Structures are given as C-alpha cells and as structure tokens.
Structure 1
Amino acid sequence: MSLDPVRWNKRASLLYAVGVWTMFGCYGYYRYTHKDDPQVEMPIEEEEDNRPNVEKYETIHTKTTVVYKENFVPYSTRLLNLFRSSNESSPDGQSHEEQK
C-alpha cells in the first residue's frame, strides 16, 4: 500500500478549506443575527472587607479577592519546615527535637 502524496495533499487542503469557511460562516451568522442585542451591564455592589486575612488584587481586566483561612500555613512553608526539622542539627550532634 503506497501513499499518493498528491491525493493526500488535495484531501488535506479540502478539509482545511471546509473548516476555514465554516468558521467564517459561523462568525458572520453570529454577528448579523445578534447585532441588535443590547449589552446590559449589571452594577456590582462591592462590600468593604477589612479583615486581615483578605487580600484584594485589581488589574485592568480583573478584580480578585483572596480569602485565607485563619491559622493557615501554606504548603510551601510546611514542606520547608519539614526539611528544616530533619536536616537541622546542633553542633553537639543533637537534633532540634532532642534539645527540647
């Protein structure tokens, strides 16, 4: 079974052309059938949140509010503390837990 590159290229080109024209057709259909719809924006009421575990970030396109749990320790800090406790040792050869 041999592949005929000319036939394969024609079929791939036809498939690509059908896909592109379908995309253009969908765009035109959507644009001309939905052009009279009014764009209604609902006002967003913002409540002030002055808790210490709330951080707000605003960019041009987004507004993000991050709420941390009380007494939450990040995973990176947990892993760092785990490795510190296993690798720390005093000059006498005793580990940190043995000194307590």
Structure 2
Amino acid sequence: MKIDPVKWNRNASLAYAVGVWTMLGYVYYKYILGHDKVKVENVVEENGPNVEIYETKHTRTTIVYKGDYVPYSTMLLNFYKSTYGNDTESQEKEEEKK
C-alpha cells in the first residue's frame, strides 16, 4: 500500500491547524475574556479562621485546615535547623545549657 505524501501532508497540516486554533481559542476565551474566575471567600465568622471557600460558576469547594497543622516543609526545615543549625545558634544553645 502506497501512501501519497501530498495527501498525508495536507491531512497532517489540517489536523495540526485545527489543534492550534482550538488551543488559541481556549486561551483567548479563558484568560483574556476572563470567564470562570475563581471567587475566594474567607468565612471567619461562621466556620472559624481555618476554613476557605473557593467558588466558581459550577462548583463550590470548602477547604478546612486543622488548627494545629504544621506543613511538612516547615517540619523538615525545623528538623534541619535543629540538626545542622548555624554556628551562632548552636553556640548560644550551648552557652544556655552551661
């Protein structure tokens, strides 16, 4: 079976053009016209300070944070600082122990 390179190039170019124009149209619609912006509320009075509500046209997402939650990045940073802390901190801690 022989493939005609002219037809194949035309079909590939058409598929590529449709995909690119679809993507550009989506970017224009979503970001330039500003449709479907996210509305953020902090509902402090009703639910407490650890509740955030994100609302779009079709969805409503409620995120509840634990009151005493420490992020993993902060825990790792504190562990690193306690283990490999800089010289002035470790010297001050040693002087306090004495």
| TM-score by shorter chain over 0.5 | no
| Normalised-by-shorter TM-score class | 0.3 to 0.5
Instruction: Report which of the two has the higher share of helix.
Output: 2
TM-score (norm 2): 0.40
Return the index of the structure with the highest Cα Rg: 1
TM-score (norm 1): 0.39
Instruction: Report which of the two has the higher share of strand.
Output: 2
